[in-house]
Amino acid sequence: MFPASGGAAFYKTSPKCIRFAYHGCANRPFFHIVVMEKRRARNAPVIEQLGTFDPMANASGEKLCALNLERICYWLGDKRTEVSKPCAELFGLAGLLPIHPKTYMRAWHQRRKDAEKTEETQSS
């Protein structure tokens, strides 16, 4: 078993993907942001770990994310490396890529939901 930091064997010409690898437990998700061959399973040995993401809000209401920007830029420069949609959204929020359109839609839906909730509380 390879460590989470990477070290798996891979073919240089194979397509690669930057994506999440699930490392949490039941009701407590935690993700590693990794580079692996595109056709491999979600928790297969990784080529390199690029960061971590904790989607559960802490006591301050923050979702924690750690990124190795230098290595992410290296892999984005490789023409055979793709980025998964969840990682593209995260990189957009971090300012590394353009903001993903799905992020705008999610924010719009959340604002609309909050406005409806506010109207209900004011009318009651």
pLDDT bracket for residue 5 (50, 70, 90): low
What residue type is assigned to position 112 of the chain? R
Q: Give the mean pLDDT of the chain.
A: 89
Which of 62, 68, 1 is CA-nearest to residue 32? 68
CA distances from 46 to 1, 33, 73 (A): 10, 10, 18
The predicted structure's pLDDT at residue 41: 86
β-sheet bridge partners, residue 83: 18
In this predicted model, what pLDDT tens digit does every residue of 9-65 receive, in sequence order?
777 788 999 999 999 899 999 999 999 999 888 778 899 999 999 999 999 999 999
Domains of the chain listed by start with CATH number: 16-97 (3.30.1320.10)
The predicted structure's pLDDT at residue 3: 58
Q: Whole-prediction pTM value?
A: 0.82
pLDDT bracket for residue 76 (50, 70, 90): very high
Percent of the chain with pLDDT over 70: 94
